[in-house]
Amino acid sequence: MPSMTMIEAIRDALDTAMGADDRVVVFGEDVGYFGGVFRVTAGLQRKYGKTRCFDAPINESGIVGAGIGMAAYGLRPVVEIQFADYVYPGYDQIVSEAARLRYRSAGNSPARW
């Protein structure tokens, strides 16, 4: 097994997942062209295109909410929030929307519960 940094390992895992499943999309703050603040997603937009690796507006709640909606419709979103401290605005989406989605839809969704 080759030695790699944590960032290289995450990038490799994203690359592997995106290569294996066209439903996997990566989006967040500066993850497209720029490759993310830590360059985790560097090269993924060039390889998979702007519809599978793209930038989102700087709105953590919106990013998380969009990811939840994408998952509900059968995509496999990977959302990136730049820093751990910024996840709190999106936390309400996780608790109030994602956690209740199966119940609210009566299990009727393209996503596999």
Mean pLDDT of 7-25: 97
Using the predicted structure, report yes or no on whether residue 112 has a pLDDT greater than 70: no
CATH numbers and ranges of domains, the chain: 6-104 (3.40.50.970)
Q: What is the pLDDT of residue 113?
A: 53
The pLDDT tens digits of the residues spanning 26-77 come to 999 999 999 999 999 999 999 999 999 999 999 999 999 999 999 988 899 9
Q: What are phi and psi of 80, to 5 degrees?
A: -120, 125
51/94 Cα distance (integer angstroms): 24
* Structure confidence at residue 5 (pLDDT): 96
Tally DSSP H helices, then E strands, for the chain.
Answer: 5, 3
